[in-house]
Amino acid sequence: MSKPASPKSTKPRIANEKVTPASTKRPQKHHHHVYVVELSRDVWGEPKFRKNNPDYDIRKPCVYVGMTGLNPDERFDKHMAGIKSSRYVRKYGLHLMPQLYEVYNPMPYEAAREMEVELAIALRCKGFFTSYVGEDKVIAVRDQNGDVQVLLNSCRHRGNPVCRAEEGNTKAFVCTYHGWTFDLQGNLVNVPGHKEVYHGELKRSEWGLIRAAQVASYGGFVFATFDPDADSAHPDVE
């Protein structure tokens, strides 16, 4: 059966390559941006980074790639001030590298989400040591039974994020692409066109959001892992 096509994306170009002239930038009404922060080489000491960058070229910078609805300078300042910050940027951030992203900005929200990933992949392919890919974005939510659920924020249809809020309350997560709806435990509870498009054959029970294999909370923090065989999600929690 045919599925709706994914939205088109623009492949990023990176430093030392010709960039798009300013006159071809997207209209100024958009306010989302991608940005790149150079990190100190001390970040090499982080095992997760090393694991995610096996082909790192030692001559290239270590970088963090992000997206934001703010101006990148403002976002960088917030990282460094510890406000909704990445631990890596706060600890290892040196400065922004506008030559790697300025040409793409500003852009709509969806384009920024795609560009964030594509730019990180492009930089990594060029030998940069990048922090984004391999880090999964998750939703931590208290379900209708009061239990904490940690769910991968990625629609099982085509991978669109199903939650865009930083925080809040909701009774369900509705994917904005084709309307698949998931309850607070990640179960797929509604698929528009289930009869007409999928002829009633799509087994909803098999297409829920991916749940963390282990979740534990301790002192107000929530610990989770997608590895069912990992040690306890927190060392002090059984």
Instruction: Tell me which residues touch ligand FES (CB under 6 A).
Output: 155, 157-158, 160, 175, 177-180
Nearer of residues 155 and 216 to ligand FES, judged by Cβ: 155
Q: Are 150 and 215 in contact (CB under 8 A)?
A: yes
Least separation in angstroms between CB 136 and ligand FES: 17
**Residue 76 CB partners (closer than 8 Å, separation 6+):** 35, 37, 89, 93, 95, 96
Is the preceding omega at residue 106 within 30 degrees of 0, hence cis?
yes
Q: How far is the CB of 118 from ligand FES (least distance, A)?
A: 18
For the bound state, the minimum distance from the C-beta of residue 175 to ligand FES, rounded and expressed in Å, comes to 3
Q: Residues near 211 by Cβ (< 8 Å), separated by ≥ 6?
A: 149, 150, 151, 152, 185, 186
Q: Which amino acid is at 41?
A: R
Q: Which is nearer to ligand FES, 69 or 159 (CB)?
A: 159
228: which residues sit within 8 A by CB, 6+ positions away?
213, 214
For ligand FES, which is the closer residue by CB, 76 or 180? Answer: 180
CB 137, min distance to ligand FES, A = 15
Strand residues in the chain grouped as ranges (E): 33-39, 62-68, 93-96, 129-130, 138-142, 148-152, 173-174, 181-182, 188-190, 214-218, 221-225
Least distance in angstroms from the C-beta of 179 to ligand FES: 6
Kindly tell me which of 177 and 223 has the beta carbon lying closer to ligand FES. 177
CA 53 to chain centroid, in Å, comes to 17
At its nearest, how many Å lie between ligand FES and the CB of residue 103? 28
Q: Which residue, 124 or 157, has its beta carbon nearer to ligand FES?
A: 157
Residue (148 or 174) nearer to ligand FES, CB: 174
